[in-house]
Structure 1
Amino acid sequence: MNPSAKIPAQWPADAASATCAQPALTPLTAAQKLLLPVGVVLFDWLFWRERGGVNMLVFTVFVVVAQLLVLPRHAAVRRSPYFWLMVFGSLLSGVLMAVYGSGAAALACMTSVLLLLGYVNQPHLKLVLYALLTAGGSVAQAGVRVLRGVRAPQNPGAGVRRGWFYGRLLLMPLGVLGAFHLLFAVANPRYDALSGEVLAVLGDWLARLLPDISLGHLLFITLGFLVTAGVVVAVPVFVFADHESRFGEFVRRQRNRVASFGVRQPDFRWKTSRALDLRKEFIAAVAVFGLVNVLLLVVNAIDINWLWFGFVPTVGFDLAQFVHEGTYVLIFSILLAMGIVLWFFRRNLNFYVPGLPWLRVGATVWVVQNAVLAVSVGLRNYYYILNSGLAYKRIGVCFFLLLTFFGLVTVLLKIWQRRSAYSLVRLNALACYAVLLLLAAGNWEVWIAQYNLQSRFKSIDIGFLLDMPDRVLPTLVARRAVLDRAAQLTLETEYDGIQSIDGPMAQRHLDFAVAAARARYAAYSHWQGFTWADWQTRQALR
């Protein structure tokens, strides 16, 4: 069939040649044409001069519904468990954002939405990191793709066509100009001040021209268009999916890399300077696992005898230094142990039949000993919390140890099931995402305040508690009597640093924080940035 027969007869010859030279862009569907303006208006209505709250839940629901509307009914992504996992994660984190409005919930919500877009773009992806990068690449190109797809009127005059052409041509230089302007504004304070004055004059002129729209609002609407375009229009990004397709779940025997028993194989050139034979590599692995197992056994025996049963800090014992320095060193030791196991079990040593059972037993003992070491790290953190109270980093250590135990289990899977490093990265990345959702589900600030405001603590960092979100204030008010009985109250100021204050001073700081919160709630009458925790706090402070 003649290709030219596919071109409609009414097309001019130059249009046909242009079509053959450059493939035409995929036109927007009716659903995409409807969702684009709806998304821009919704984004502006929900987020302009608003903080995160119920608005993030509403926009997340819009993102999920948009994907279900745009995707064909029999699309492969609808059968992907990762797609439905991210749909669940997006909606759950959006609900948690509407409930607490915490930073962890906001991070979980944005991450879930990006992962959802990544798996929609490439349904066969499994790695969480590659899904994020795929979504970022697609969102970065979607706005330009939509603008390139915009066409001028069908029968305009020559002047209109020429103006339309040059108008589209200037978009890229203007984008580059804006990027360099931001860089120079950050690097040069005088340029930043001068450009601010120029933009202020321009904004005043636009305010007189358009009383209801400011320059900042126009830029925000542009941001809404770019975000909505990234949600509605998926620009295929294949580079990460192609790279992931090279990996497998299990290690395969590679006869063209490592020689067996020092015998030269006829199908490849053996070089002792490039790779050890399996026997030498086995001897090195046995030596490493044997020696380090003995060393780690001594360390674990000391920790079990010292920390596990009846540990009581002596007078003058620096528990903070004991926890911080010891925890960091032990965590690094555990990560190094995982790396060594991954190194020795990366290739053909998994198939060395004469010594594989002994090697697996030695590696398993080492993994179990690292789990014991992780328990010791947890006990150090527990004793610190027991004596000094809760804090963000101490909670973070607990979740990091949870991920460490999961990582050690996956290392055992690698040892006994010959799983590849790709499999371990995939499983641990999913575990990190699950932990992110768990962090988003916690009302951590209120729980920290409830735990730290106990009369058994000799010192209370009231400044740390007052710097938390307003939803902590009802807990502080309900337990304000503890402040009068505390032996020491500390407050950190910008100029004086950490200083000790008495009970009445702490009460005055609390009263000032409550009055400021009441004023903020009275001045805020919108619902977009409100949360269920804000509603509870406002009712409690009345």
Structure 2
Amino acid sequence: MNALPLFTPTTAPAETAPLSAPVWRPAHLVLTTAQKWLLPLGVLAFDVLFWQQGLGLNLALYTLLAVVVLLAGRPRAAWRSGYFRLVLAGTLLSCAAVAWYGSGAAVLACTGSLLLLWGYANQPLLQQASLALLTGLGAAAEVVAGLPALLVRSLPSRSTKAGRVGWYARLLLVPVLILGVFHMLFVLANPRYAAWAAVAWAQLGRWLAAWFELLSIGHLLFLVLGLACTAAVLLRVPLPGLAQWEARFGEFTLRRRDRVASFAVRHPHFGRHGFRTADLRKEYLAALAVFGLVNLLLLAVNAIDVQWLWFGFEPEKNFDLAQFVHEGTYVLIFSILLAMGIVLWFFRRNLNFYQPGLPALRWGATVWVLQNAVLAVSVGLRNYYYISNMGLAYKRIGVCFFLLLTLFGLVTILLKIWQRRSAFSLVRLNSVAAYLVLLALAAGNWEIWIARFNLTSDFKQVDYGFLLDMPGRVLPELVRYRAVLGQMKQITRDDDSGYYSEVIDAETARRLLDGRVQSWQQQQREQASWQDWTYADQSAYAELTALAKARPAKR
């Protein structure tokens, strides 16, 4: 392997196992001299960065340190993988997003990217992002499982340790006794020295009390977590199993001549391993009937949606738009996913090579896919009408990105139909698209955009409680548009029970905003630290301070 001695694989060669069921055992880990120094330093860094802290700069720094450790091993084979380079760029981008915004999407993208990076570095031939993620998790689990035995082996032997402790104890016993005697004499003879000694003993007592308080059960468990994370970063355990399993699949569907059709049944006259295959034409007719009938049904649904939603849609009086969007969106998305699954089922094997009816089958499936794309556009319009009438929310943004992934997935279904792509190829392409969408979500300042859109658009009502519950970096935007509250037709927030919404006036909304601003500023002054620092929080605090100073002058 092309790796520095510090980061070489740490498993011993596997012994030849008997022909029986495989038994899982923790990896046999070995620490190098450098790793023996870096492991406690890593635990200390983990404790300093994360103990009783939020997530922000600390997560970005820890991720960057982990990336440096990985790259220090010079994984030349991994560098030849385009997926490794893509995930490395995504890891650095998500690190920047965590330090900039500290949003939940950025934290998720950062941790996910780090696990993917470890998976691709472990097995550079991997292509599936999901398998790379499982490889990274599996390697971390192997390290954690083998860590107790590793620590026991790293300790000195009992006889050597006991001998050294006894030798140092005998060496220091006499000097300590002499020091104690002279200390007592000086305490009795010199009142000033006695006062200083009392202060020193009191300070030592407070330091020991703080130290024992620091070593609480929760803190000890947190240190164990830091030890596990640091060991997973430092130690490399090769896991080729998923990569070997993935190598069995290809990019294109191959014709199986031993089983002409997909409908295969056992027949006793063909021996133990014999099969009687159903006529491929019957499967073709079944697929053609499915595509034909469902195309007609979907055509009726799309015609209704195009006539109703696409042009001049106006909700009727007392029309429950929220229920219409929520229930309709989820059901239609499920129907699109089900349609994609049915296409994958029929085109999974030899129907791709049935020349007499392949053109009709392909065009029938293509029309169905295109009609599902029209259905996805209709779902997008439902989402758009909800946003136009009710405002932006996290789920609405999630639906938008999910529909983009759905449209991309429909395009890959067309590739399968016309290029005989395998399901493996489709999963590979869609997993990369899903990762890019996650990075896009991590890089967006969504809370600011949500607040700005909801307060500047002419809505019938605004859920102000939802805006006040957003992270503190949104507060300057709410303060900037506090005057807009007087123009709102209806302002709502959740009541104390959290199950119902109550209507409040503009003055009450302003008081709630001022209280939220004061509490957040006080929290920043008392609890904020460099570990959970983010640029957005710092900018929001400075902007709120400037707005508070400028408000009396405007009056």
Q: TM-score range by the shorter chain?
A: 0.7 to 0.9
Query: Structure 2: how far apart are the matches of 1:468 and 1:396?
Result: 17
Shift of 1:230: 0.7
Q: Structure 1 residues 158, 28: CA separation in 2 closer, same or farther (over 3 Å shift)?
A: closer
Q: For 1:493, which of 488, 492, 495 is the aligned residue?
A: 495
Q: What's the CA shift string for 1:383-407, capped at 9, x where partnerless?
A: 1111111111111110110000000
Shift of 1:31: 4.9
Pairing 1:351-390 to 2, within 5 Å after superposition: 351-390=353-392
Q: What's the CA shift string for 1:415-468, capped at 9, x where partnerless?
A: 111111111111111111111111111111111110111361121111111011
Query: Structure 2: how far apart are the matches of 1:20 and 1:431?
Result: 42
Q: Structure 1 residues 155, 112: CA separation in 2 closer, same or farther (over 3 Å shift)?
A: closer
The 3-state SS of whatever aligns with 1:495 is coil
Query: Structure 2: how far apart are the matches of 1:526 and 1:222?
Result: 23
Q: Is the 8 A contact 1:207 1:213 kept in 2?
A: no
Q: Does 1:67 align with 2:74?
A: no
Q: Is the 8 A contact 1:31 1:69 kept in 2?
A: no
Q: What's the CA shift string for 1:297-340, capped at 9, x where partnerless?
A: 12112211111111122222221122112111211111111011
Shift of 1:213: 3.3
Q: Structure 1 residues 89, 260: CA separation in 2 closer, same or farther (over 3 Å shift)?
A: closer
Q: What's the CA shift string for 1:34-72, capped at 9, x where partnerless?
A: 442332222111111111111111111101100011245
Shift of 1:157: 2.4
Q: Give the equivalent residue in structure 1 for 2:274.
A: 269
Q: Is the 8 A contact 2:261 2:349 kept in 1?
A: no
Q: Give the equivalent residue in structure 1 for 2:56.
A: 53
Q: Structure 1 residues 27, 309: CA separation in 2 closer, same or farther (over 3 Å shift)?
A: same
Q: Does 1:241 align with 2:213?
A: no
Q: Does 1:392 align with 2:397?
A: no
Q: Is the 8 A contact 1:459 1:489 kept in 2?
A: yes
Q: CA RMSD for the aligned pairs?
A: 2.9
The 3-state SS of whatever aligns with 1:370 is helix
Pairing 1:244-393 to 2, within 5 Å after superposition: 244-259=246-261, 269-271=274-276, 276-393=278-395
Amino acid at match of 1:362: G
Quick check: 326-335 or 29-38, which moved more? 29-38
Amino acid at match of 2:295: N
Shift of 1:136: 1.4
Amino acid at match of 1:136: L
Give the gaps of 5 or more residues in structure 2: 1-14, 18-24, 166-205, 546-555
Query: Structure 2: how far apart are the matches of 1:233 and 1:346?
Result: 41
Q: Give the equivalent residue in structure 1 for 2:521.
A: 518
Q: Is the 8 A contact 2:46 2:62 kept in 1?
A: yes
Q: Give the equivalent residue in structure 1 for 2:119.
A: 118
Q: Give the equivalent residue in structure 2 for 1:450.
A: 452
Q: TM-score, normalised by structure 1?
A: 0.82
Q: Structure 1 residues 154, 488: CA separation in 2 closer, same or farther (over 3 Å shift)?
A: closer
Q: Is the 8 A contact 1:381 1:397 kept in 2?
A: yes
Shift of 1:284: 0.8
Shift of 1:146: 4.2
Amino acid at match of 1:529: D
Amino acid at match of 1:447: W
The 3-state SS of whatever aligns with 1:101 is coil
Pairing 1:21-60 to 2, within 5 Å after superposition: 25=28, 27-60=30-63
Q: What's the CA shift string for 1:271-290, capped at 9, x where partnerless?
A: 2xxx5321111111111111
The 3-state SS of whatever aligns with 1:491 is strand
Q: Is the 8 A contact 1:32 1:70 kept in 2?
A: no
Q: Is the 8 A contact 1:57 1:98 kept in 2?
A: yes
Q: Structure 1 residues 260, 228: CA separation in 2 closer, same or farther (over 3 Å shift)?
A: closer
Q: Give the equivalent residue in structure 2 for 1:186.
A: none
Query: Structure 1: how far apart are the matches of 2:161 and 2:230?
Result: 32
Q: Structure 1 residues 519, 254: CA separation in 2 closer, same or farther (over 3 Å shift)?
A: same
Shift of 1:521: 1.4
Query: Structure 1: how far apart are the matches of 2:26 and 2:485?
Result: 72
The 3-state SS of whatever aligns with 2:456 is coil
The 3-state SS of whatever aligns with 1:210 is helix
